[in-house]
Amino acid sequence: MPAQTVVDAYIREALARAAYETLDDGTIAASIPDCFGVLGFGASAAECRRNLAERLEQWVSQSLAEGRPLPVLGGVDLNAGQARAPGTHQRPAPPAATTQFDGPEAFAAALTAHERPR
């Protein structure tokens, strides 16, 4: 079994906090309240969890690479050694096209700006 990193512990802790919901079309949606903007979807709970885990890993990697503070989850604080933390995480960085928002207001503004007329 490969060695577990502090980032792996962080991701496990975050996934344990996930909230799942069944949408009207039967799709499962999940979010992590402490990790703003991290959402996953799937036709089943297992698929949704895999999708959520992938997106969470991307969010963590990009946040560390950009020096963004991350919430402390279950005593796991990735901010303490932030200068060296990206080097301890062996997964590839997410694509550059990923967008992060500085808070709920910025996210809502972006959604509003891109709404299609009905």
Question: How confident is the model over 5-15, as pLDDT tens digits?
Answer: 888 999 999 99
Question: Domain 6-113 carries which CATH code?
Answer: 3.30.160.250
Contacts of 57 (CB under 8 A, 6+ apart): 11, 91
pLDDT tens-digit profile of 32-86?
Answer: 999 999 999 999 999 999 999 999 999 999 998 888 999 999 999 998 655 444 4
74's tokens: 């279950």
For residue 5, give both structure tokens: 């990193």
CA angle, residues 84, 86, 88, in degrees to nearest 5? 75
Distance of CA 114 to the CA centre of its chain: 22
Give the predicted TM-score (pTM) of the model: 0.65
Domain boundary assignment for the chain: 6-113
User: Is residue 93 predicted with pLDDT exceeding 60?
Assistant: no
Number of other residues whose CB lies within 10 A of the CB of residue 91: 14
Say what the pLDDT of residue 110 is: 72
